[in-house]
Amino acid sequence: MVWRAGTDNKLMKITIPLFLFFLLFFANFSVVQAQETFDYTIPEPAKPSLAPEHPEAPPRKFRGLFLGQKLDDLKVALTKDGLFTFRGDRDVSFLPVREQTLVETTGLSFVRRAYFQLVDGAVFIMSFSLDTQIMDHYSVFTSFVKKYGEPTTLSPSEAVWETDDTRVSIERPLSVKYIDKKVFDRLTADSKAKEDFELLNRGDFLNDF
């Protein structure tokens, strides 16, 4: 009985260190395994683009109104279109400084106001301010993308579709603007040339003192 007890004690003394050894071994193995693991996020499937394979060119026309339209034709088109409350010549003004004509009228339903700038008697800018209570930016933007493709440039303030002769933009909070680029660029160049000429004359005048 004494020897067996002693033997049991020896077995206990041997068994406990072995148990601790295996416990530490598996603990270290788990730490190594944990260090070798890494996070991997499964990517979401790509959303199909709304843009068509062959998009249309950016528009130069809205309903019966278009870039290059003559003043008399514009007034007739606004009078016939029930979306606008055009009052005739009362909504037409001449800008002598720019030598341009401005047509500004209110709208009904989706359009709050509409602006048309004319030079040499033809429209080169039209802008439509939409009612954000019944129309939203996302709907207008997606409608454009489905027809005209992804915008040429995109920023928090505007989305732009552009070609060599046309620039169309959706501007925040919500307006759509059409610009005849060739006419606009010509006017900008003329204005810059005029400023340079006036600056030159001013310099000549000061040199006379």
Q: What is the 3-state secondary structure (H, E, C) of 56-108?
A: CCCCCEECCEECCCEHHHHHHHHHHCCCECCCHHHHEEEECCCCEEEEEEEEC
Pair of tokens at residue 184: 């606009």
Residue 115 CB contacts under 8 Å (≥ 6 apart), including other chains? 102, 103, 104, 125, 126, 127, 128, 129
Give strand pairing partners of 93. Answer: 102
Closest CA to 104 of 96, 115, 112: 115
Closest CA to 166 of 149, 185, 143: 185
Tell me the pTM.
Answer: 0.71
Pair of tokens at residue 74: 């514009």
Q: pLDDT tens-digit profile of 148-203?
A: 999 999 999 999 999 999 999 999 999 999 999 999 999 988 776 556 545 555 55
Closest CA to 107 of 75, 90, 82, 139: 82
Q: pLDDT tens-digit profile of 103-157?
A: 999 998 899 999 999 999 999 999 999 999 999 999 999 999 999 999 999 999 9
Report the percent of the chain where pLDDT is more than 90.
60
Pair of tokens at residue 99: 């030598």
Distance CA 36, CA 69 (A): 70
